[in-house]
Structure 1
Amino acid sequence: MSVLLEHPTSLVAYRPNKPTAMVVMADPRVRSTVTRHLWALGVRDVIEASSVAEARPRVANPRDICVAEVHLPDGSGLTLLSETRAAGWPNGLALSAADDIGAVRNALAGGVKGYVVTGTRNNLAMGLRSGAAAMAGPGARMHRRPPGAPGHPGGHRELSGREVEVLRLVAEGQSNKAIGVSMGLSALTVKSHLARIARKLGTGDRAGMVAVALRTGIIH
């Protein structure tokens, strides 16, 4: 998950009024699950849509957060999130069932606050919690490490030079085998590096690691 905050707070603590959201997902079961998670986080006014066409008329009335599936039946959820951002929505969270590095880059370039790979129920719950934390109070802000600054923000442990190189190749979409060939390592050694990177960054999927690394300036 790519949202990194100094002082995450609950949604209820953030707003005296009840936070509002729009959930745009094609599958009604997943859509209902996301809505339930948002309710558990303190959001009390959630509208739902199943497509870009259904959601687009509501963009003109900003809410606190838009949670959108990356691949919708009639278009791109990332395009929709860009439109909500342009219309004044403060937060956007992209959800995808695929570990798509290209989509991560496109999402972050478009100003999306978080990207969640929904491969497991835990991933979904954790990602929504982190995305909701992006609606924290005025003291919270996104971290980005200035070039040359020591350490990494957000409490992440320092990556070694080799781990950063592995992560950079992951961001290019290379497989473990291809990374091993590029770096003169076995695929098993690459896998071990990725396990250590995952522990340090607090996320296990490749897209999540890349999202954190791009947000914090570990890679560019």
Structure 2
Amino acid sequence: MSVLLEHPTSLVAYRPSKPTAMVVVADPRVRSSVTRHLWALGVRDVIEASSVAEARPRVASPRDICVAEVHLPDGSGLSLLSETRAAGWPNGLALSAADDIGAVRNALAGGVKGYVVTGTRTNLGPPTRHGAAAMGSAAARLHRRHPGQQGHQGYRELSGREVEVLRLVAEGQSNKAIGVSMGLSALTVKSHLARIARKLGTGDRAGMVAVALRTGIIH
């Protein structure tokens, strides 16, 4: 049975038992890795593209998930995700490097459902555990009529100092710079980050910032 999703510009039908996806990533190695993750999560029909130009003709035929790299050779993956959302695609995931905090902020502010974290910008690698979880969450939503929200209850336990550390991380500051700003040693900052990671359930900086933005800890 098909499920209809209402969108301001169209009604999009999709089959929850057979989710479909498009992966738009420039690096063929990373693109293949993302596709394999989607296959492992039960997505059986995945098309691939390496650029905005290659993906754009597909936008008019909505699929269930679009995973797009934030920085593509010929344009912005976030703009492409906006186009897919306007065309009725129900799930958009932005792929960014783990150290590209600004990309994560822009992606979430732009209305994407989640993000996929790879390696660093200088060493783009396969999706991390947090990135796989983001894809898994999107895929799982396709199998439920009324999807639930993935909670991060630990954010309520953050201390004021931990929130301040998190805010400075979101600004892209290094541990050393955060220490200077707060009058702490780099080792103390590292300890704060370890506690924050434990409470939020994610160990990479981009993941912590994404959770903080989505739960309203920082703005």
CA contact (8 A) 2:169 2:209 kept: yes
The structure-2 alpha-carbon separation of the partners of 1:89 and 1:138, relative to structure 1 and needing over 3 Å to count, comes to closer
- Aligned-pair distance for 1:8? 26
In the TM superposition, residue 116 of structure 1 has moved relative to its aligned partner by 2.3
Alpha carbons of 1:12 and 1:149: their partners in 2 closer, same or farther (altered >3 Å)?
closer
What does residue range 27-42 of structure 1 map to in structure 2 within 5 Å? 27-42=27-42
- Residues 75-84 or 138-147, more deviating: 138-147
Alignment RMSD, CA only? Answer: 7.6
**TM-fit CA distance, 1:156:** 4.9
1:31-67 per-position Cα deviation (integer Å, ceiling 9, x unaligned):
1221111111011111110100000111111111101
Which secondary structure state, in structure 1, belongs to the residue aligned with residue 138 of structure 2?
A: coil
Q: Is the 8 A contact 2:24 2:69 kept in 1?
A: yes
Residue in 2 that maps onto 1:127: 127
TM-score when normalising by structure 2: 0.78
> What per-residue deviation string (whole Å, max 9, x for no partner) do you get for residues 138-194 of structure 1?
999999999999996xx5561111100100111111221221111111111111101
Q: CA deviation at 1:27?
A: 1.6
Cα offset, 1:92, TM superposition: 0.9
Offset at 1:17?
3.5
Q: How has the CA–CA distance of structure 1 residues 143 and 180 changed in structure 2, closer, same or farther, with 3 Å as cutoff? A: farther
Tell me the secondary structure at the aligned position of residue 92 of structure 2.
Answer: strand
Q: How far is the alpha carbon of 1:132 from its aligned partner? A: 8.0
Give 1:86 shift: 1.4
The normalised TM-score by structure 1 is 0.77
The Cα shift of 1:211 comes to 0.5
Cα distance change on mapping 1:124 and 1:133 into 2, 3 Å = farther
Distance 1:101 1:49, change over 3 A: same
Deviates more, 1:78-87 or 1:11-20: 11-20
Distance 1:29-1:201 versus aligned 2 partners, 3 A rule: same
SS at match of 2:93: strand
CA distance in 1, matches of 2:20, 2:218: 33
**Post-superposition, which runs of at least 4 consecutive aligned residues in structure 1 deviate over 3 A?**
1-17, 120-152
Query: Quick check: 96-105 or 83-92, which moved more?
Result: 96-105
What is the CA-CA distance between 1:82 and the residue it aligns to? 1.3
Alpha carbons of structure 1 residues 150 and 31: separation in structure 2 relative to 1, 3 Å: closer
Whether the 8 Å CA contact 1:163–1:197 is kept in 2: the answer is: yes
Shift of 1:100: 1.0
The alpha-carbon distance between structure 1 residues 49 and 136, as it changes in their structure 2 partners (threshold 3 A), is closer
